[in-house]
Structure 1
């Protein structure tokens, strides 16, 4: 099956390439905002928006008027128009809110360059630890794995920590994984991250709590430096000590996010490889986050991201993920089927008041999830 897959690598651009990346990001943002403004004006005047082709023809004229738009990759500017058109299409279909103007103060700055199918020579090519990108030329990068498939586009981004990354979107033919004839139910939790109906437990590493003290200390230093810059009437963007500390805070956040993503990728891949049908709870995480007592712990475990990874990997590799109604899964006895609130004695203990069946509460819930998914 043909699927779109992304490869992400760390870039190590030269000073000149960093300047060109910043210019390209700025020009892409300018084009997006300019045509968003034109689209809004045209809609208020005529009741109709602008098509992508109309914007594209105006962009050609604009590049003749503004010479600095010709310094950057032309594909990135066209990509901004395509993103704008796509945003309005989804807005008109009531799939998302109306597109908003982009700000240079956003934490993550990026641009996307598309690959022309008609071009005999590829715009993006890889040789050893160097990657060729439009306008940038050859850029050194961390070549951690081979890129397989046909490259569709490349997104260059600059993180708040100051690091540069490139994401290559490729089209690749993915083969189904071997069938294991195994089914499993998964109950997610806060003490343990995931409990499988076969008894396997994935611990909750609590990456945020591990680095919380370090993060808090870095944020206090940043706050002091910001107050000092304000007292000296310096713009925060020009206060070097503020920017240095801001990057230190961003690196701690990045370390937490990277560790969490790596953990989720590993356990979801393991589950998909070992089981053909996987039952999970259809949790409304956004509603659960309204609980002020548990919101911090719930956001840390990333249940939504865990489910997203399971679902797209199952689609890729010929497996199946079934979401079931989470009501009463923790109160129902897996042995006799009796459902009562009193069955859940404590957070960890389940003792059925009807038949006396006793076991770990999360394991009992995961077995109920498994049974519901297999119906």
Structure 2
């Protein structure tokens, strides 16, 4: 997806929100119709029958007829695709779309190609029933057969063109970089680097807590509640933008040596927020996109208890969260860096306490030189 920031006018924002509400209404109506099916009843209508029902509904209700038929039909197609993906087992069950949370619609077909470049920084897209809406061209606009217009919770509009860029086939250096993902240290590299994903500052975190407390005391549906929700959404968006920027830059730096071997730690209860803030999933996804075919996932079992020098493994080797001191050879280093070196060496140990042969220390200087 190639996503760009849109800057609609006040009138255009109202028209875009109306299109979003129509798409959400059609989706939820199709979901309700599909959810009513039981084994003792006939099959629910297919896409063709739903299309005929939509035509009849547009002829009867003026508020629905005021929207774009392309947007509403595409919502039915998207729901039909979601149902097929659910039965295939590739995606979860289709869920309800809620106002304020799921604001968006998709345009497919010849209308998706109505994009003009105005100058070096700006372009415009002709959205049905809305008109020409400007968006900022931070990079070249791809030629796509469909695009999706969305509104985030903080009120920002975006347009995403359905184009998957080919992965960059970097030549690589033959080096291997091990990455140990954690909570305190987001990513520890086998080269000795400790990378921390930026988060909200202490002042911003305190501000977020205050807003959340005030939101709990607001009357539901009031303007005050909407104002606090918007302020909270802006803080969350700020944290997400920082995390995304860090993931993009870090994945590019890690991809250069050649091969990346992330660990796969199971998320513990109560750590979901910390894991999200560390950007574990985003980092792996972007690395797989940028270094296609050169990413290998290694089981991290006991890597934090195994010495990367002599291969001795014992629980007492891990002195604390940050300190590793081998009881056999007295090697001492950062615990996360030691685990990353074991991951880079592919030194996965099983539950039977089987430790692989220690890896030569010559690998690390070559790895550092390749960067």
TM-score category of the 2 structures, normalised to the smaller one? 0.7 to 0.9
Aligned to 2:7: 12
Instruction: List alignment gaps of at least 5 residues for structure 2.
Output: 349-355, 357-371
Matched, 1:164 2:157: yes
Q: Root-mean-square deviation (CA), in Å?
A: 2.6
Contact 2:307 2:326 (C-alpha < 8 Å) held by counterparts: yes
- What is the CA distance between 1:185 and its match in structure 2? 0.6
Aligned counterpart in structure 2 of residue 310 of structure 1, from 279, 287, 296: 287
Q: How does 1:89-168 map to 2 (within 5 A)?
A: 89-104=84-99, 106-116=100-110, 122-128=113-119, 129-135=122-128, 136-147=130-141, 149-168=142-161
* Partner-residue secondary structure (3-state), 2:32: helix
Tell me what 1:335 maps to.
Answer: 309
Question: How far did residue 164 of structure 1 move?
Answer: 1.8
Decide which of 299, 307, 312 is 2:276's aligned counterpart: 299
With structure 1 as the length reference, what TM-score do the two structures score? 0.83
Displacement after TM superposition at 1:368 (Å)? 0.5
Q: Is the 8 A contact 1:351 1:359 kept in 2?
A: yes
2:66 is matched with: 71
Structure 2 vs 1, CA of residues 92 and 208 (structure 1 numbering), >3 Å: closer, same or farther? farther
Q: Structure 1 residue 43: deviation in Å?
A: 4.9
Aligned runs of 1:198-277 on 2, under 5 Å? 198-207=191-200, 209=202, 211-224=204-217, 226=218, 230=219, 236-237=220-221, 239-272=222-255, 274-277=256-259
Q: Distance in 2 between matches of 1:261 and 1:102?
A: 25
1:18-57 paired onto structure 2 within 5 Å: 18-43=13-38, 46-57=41-52
The one of 165, 174, 187 equivalent to 1:181 is 174
* Number of the residue aligned with 1:280: 262
**1:347/1:361 contact within 8 Å kept:** yes
CA distance in 2, matches of 1:276, 1:341: 32
- 1:111 is paired with a residue whose SS is strand
**Length-normalised TM-score, structure 2:** 0.84
1:169 and 1:94, CA in 2 relative to 1: closer, same or farther beyond 3 A? closer
User: CA separation in 2, counterparts of 1:191 and 1:100?
Assistant: 34
> Which one has a larger percent strand, Structure 1 or Structure 2?
1
Output the CA distance in 1 between the equivalents of 2:273 and 2:97. Answer: 29
Contact 1:310/1:321 (CA < 8 Å) preserved in 2? yes
Contact 1:279 1:323 in 2 (8 A): yes
Distance 1:295 1:55 in 2: 40
- Secondary structure at the residue paired with 2:289? helix
Q: Is the 8 A contact 1:151 1:171 kept in 2?
A: no
The 1:31/1:70 distance shift into structure 2, 3 A limit, reads same
**Contact 2:179 2:262 (8 Å CA) reproduced:** yes
Cα deviation for residue 295 of structure 1 reads: 4.9
Equivalent residues, number: 346
Alpha-carbon distance in structure 2 between the residues aligned to 1:90 and 1:373: 38
Please give the alpha-carbon distance, in whole angstroms, between the structure 1 residues aligned to 2:287 and 2:168. 17
Structure 1, gaps ≥5 residues long: 1-5, 231-235
Counterpart secondary structure, 1:323: coil
Could you list the per-position Cα deviations for residues 73-116 of structure 1 after superposition, in whole angstroms to 9, with x for gaps in the alignment?
33321221122112211222344443233222x42411111133
How many Å separate the matches in 2 of 1:264 and 1:160? 22
Residue 320 of structure 1 deviates from its aligned partner by: 1.2
Asked if the contact 2:51/2:73 (under 8 Å) is kept, the reply is yes
Residue 190 of structure 1 contacts residue 204 of structure 1 at CA under 8 Å; is this kept in 2? no
